[in-house]
Structure 1
Amino acid sequence: MKILKNVKNKQLTPSLRRRFEVVEPATIGHHLHYGFMDSRVRSMLQDVKVVGTAFTVKTNSNDSTMVHKAVSLAEEGDVIVIDRTGDTKHACVGEMVVYAAKSRNVAGIIIDGPCTDIQAIREIGVPVFATGLSPITTKLYGISGEINTIIQCGGVAVKPGDFIIADDNGVLVLSQDLNYEEILEKAEFSERNEPNFKRLLDMGKPLSSITKADQLLEQTNDDYKENDR
């Protein structure tokens, strides 16, 4: 069993965090092609937005000791990200874990596996992302597990301190090696342009014309004609 210190994301200033709180992960998805968890990891609540730094946990199939320790160590604004090492049967997060997370102002919990006590989780209100629900829970065995090591969740490698953005559409992991300012500028530019796109659509202009899809199709047709000669 291994427990390492919490890792701070030095790149993430309060100003950048506030800007990320406005931007949607799906908008970033227009410009970034990796770091998105598999869609099977989805929000168990509706209309949620999570922005915070990864506090990573790895557990084996039926031992939740490290989850209980992690929720006791996590700090305000952390997102607890749990690697279930392939287990899809046992729920390692339920009412008490989520209640404890709320008491420490944890931003959210993301599990590569199921959770349980969904009615209580909805009442508590801490955003939980999981692959589904299960009535079979893990137990306190103290056999194995890790805290604040590199893990895998939803098909994405997650390092302690990585930046997490999640909403009803899915979960995005932004490595500390990325340029957050550059990502924000592109996403904010796209979102500023959306009202203009809608105005042109309301005026009757085809979407394919606005997005330059027509030009790409014309170029493709020209290439085919050239190859047929």
Structure 2
Amino acid sequence: MPLQAETRDKLKTVSTATLCTALFKCGLRNQFIQDVRPVNADLQRDMPNMVGEAFTLRYIPAREDLNPISVFLDRHHPQRVAVETCPPGAVMVFDSRKDARAASAGGILVSRLMVRGCAGVVTDGGFRDSPEIAALNFPAYHQRPSAPTNLTLHQALDINVPIGCGDVAVWPGDVMVGDKEGVVVLPAHLADELADEAVEMTVFEDFVIDQVQNHGRSILGLYPPTDPQSKDDFAVWRQAKGR
């Protein structure tokens, strides 16, 4: 089932940390993409979370006789086709084998994804033109900057197939959520449930932060709320805040 607008809106408001805990409650331990961070965390501080269904591209190690620069003359080159067919609202996810020595893409391709209405882009490798990408009003996540063209090490092969990205399995249609810390992968069939759980967790955690920072309360009996008084106090706080 496609990602529902209500679920997308909820996921824009919760942290990847909270989602990881919600996933853990469902028995899923390895959904946070490792060693991937925002290209521009300062810009994304003022943006809602990146949320969208995964559209994938798989790279394999490049072989020199099959991957000269002339391959880009082919209008059917998988990297170009993937960028031109990633659906609006989706997140382009590159499997670059955790290898940032050559770029997964650069400023032109990322700009094309942005103007086509995609929700963001993620690679477990690197982006070239990272200063230009960082200036775009578009969520982009990578391991680190990388100037060499992808052709020097990566050969684009498969479009919209199951991939690995930062040691996490990503299936087409999985829901990608990115915030200022990184990116988490939600199995599509659990997205609605996880969004609801994360929203509830966020409300309670905001209550706990308020109690700790503004009222000097101990976390013992409060987080988790093993003290019955904590649950009563939360109910009163929630009603007062309209949450």
Q: Paired residue for 1:113, among 118, 125, 143?
A: 125
Q: Is the 8 A contact 2:51 2:119 kept in 1?
A: yes
Residue type matched to 1:187 in 2?
A
**1:36 aligned residue:** 31
Q: Unaligned regions of 5+ residues in structure 1, if any?
A: 1-9, 216-229
Indicate the RMSD between aligned Cα atoms, in angstroms: 2.5
Describe the SS at the equivalent of 2:172.
coil
**2:209 aligned residue:** 198
Across the two proteins, how many residue pairs are aligned to each other?
205
Q: Distance in 2 between matches of 1:214 and 1:16?
A: 30
Displacement of 1:213 in angstroms is 9.0
TM-score (norm 2): 0.75
**1:164 aligned residue:** 176
Matched, 1:210 2:222: yes
**1:102 aligned residue:** 114
Matched, 1:51 2:51: yes
Q: Where does 1:1-229 land on structure 2 (aligned, <5 Å)?
A: 10-33=1-24, 34-46=29-41, 47=45, 48=47, 49-62=49-62, 65-139=77-151, 145-178=157-190, 180-201=191-212, 202-212=214-224
Specify whether residues 98 and 211 from structure 1 end up closer, same or farther in structure 2 by C-alpha distance, changes over 3 A only: same
Q: Is the 8 A contact 2:61 2:155 kept in 1?
A: no
**1:222 aligned residue:** none
TM-score (norm 1): 0.80
Q: Distance in 1 between matches of 2:153 and 2:127?
A: 18
Q: Is the 8 A contact 1:107 1:127 kept in 2?
A: yes
Q: Unaligned regions of 5+ residues in structure 2, if any?
A: 228-243
Displacement of 1:30 in angstroms is 2.2
